[in-house]
Amino acid sequence: MPFVTIGSARFFYRGSIHKTSAERPALIFLHGSGGDSSVWEKQIQGLDPYFTVIALDLPGHGYTKGPLCTSAQEYAARLAVFAAEVQLGNFFLAGHSLGGAIAQECARIFPHKVQGLILAGCGTHFIIAPEYREAVSSDFPAAVKASCQAAFSPENVSLFYARGCEMLSRNGGETLSRDMAACAEFNSSPWISSIAVPACIICGSDDTITPPAVSEELARLITNSTLKIVAGAGHMVMMETPVEFNEAIKEFIVETAEITDGLCDLKQSSKMKQPI
């Protein structure tokens, strides 16, 4: 399995860092609360032919051991260390939910490294019911079931429910609880309008965790941004509608990056269907 060891920490990732070149922009994916890099399976399959795709397990998640971070800003600092260690240079950064908060922090802290942002299912802050946070601590199995029931569009729940429950369960209650605390304290409202990095904001039309209005507000606040609402998807839009999600990312990167003739060929195939 691919790991990068930095001091005493071992970062697990999916993808291939060694494919990075001027013709293949690097694209890092950051998962959400209680999750891991497995949620990006279809993005790795669909986008790897065009970009250097790297999906990280955040500290304390998946195969990356702890310690867990206490804030999106701390996670962003860990990502900066990872990117420096593997000598990525500039990269595009895609984050979902908590991962989107981390991506915003990265664009604020080291904008010279971030070529563009893809922000999915997130906003300038998160509204988390106190009852849910209590359930995560006192009745974790019930919280897992509630999370997975809410995470997908009603039409897609039966397709992804078991997989979602298994992922949250294996990452554990402490991980989800700490991530919820990081989400609860995150608030980019005071500074998000200062972000000059181009952004592509994506949300499922049926997202009840971070509804479309949240993404619409984020798009208004980030000057150089585009907004895509994906019909028939919930909060886990990248899993539920991977073809539409991947096409939005591909189009955004092609239009944003300073690209070579080799990558320009991608414009001609931007409507090609990707593996699902």
pLDDT digits (tens, 9 = 90+) for 108-143: 999 999 999 999 999 999 999 999 999 999 999 999
Helix/strand/coil for 100? helix
Nearest of 253, 92, 170 to residue 79 by alpha carbon: 92
pLDDT of residue 260: 38
pLDDT of residue 191: 97
Does the pLDDT at position 57 exceed 80? yes
Peptide bond preceding 130 in cis form (omega within 30 of 0): no
pTM over 0.85, yes/no: yes
Rounded to 10°, the helix 173-185/98-109 angle is 50
Question: What is the residue-averaged pLDDT of the chain?
Answer: 90
pLDDT band at 88 (very low <50, low <70, confident <90, very high): confident
Low-confidence winner among 11-15, 31-35, 48-52, 84-88 (lowest mean pLDDT): 84-88
Q: What are the structural domain ranges in the chain? A: 3-268
pLDDT band at 89 (very low <50, low <70, confident <90, very high): confident
As a whole number of angstroms, the distance between CA 257 and CA 253 comes to 6
DSSP-derived pairing of the beta strands 3-6 and 9-15 = antiparallel
pLDDT of residue 262: 44
| Mean pLDDT score, 243-267 | 76
CATH architecture of 3-268: 3-Layer(aba) Sandwich (3.40)
Residue-wise pLDDT for 219-234, tens only, equals 999 999 999 999 999 9
pLDDT band at 184 (very low <50, low <70, confident <90, very high): very high
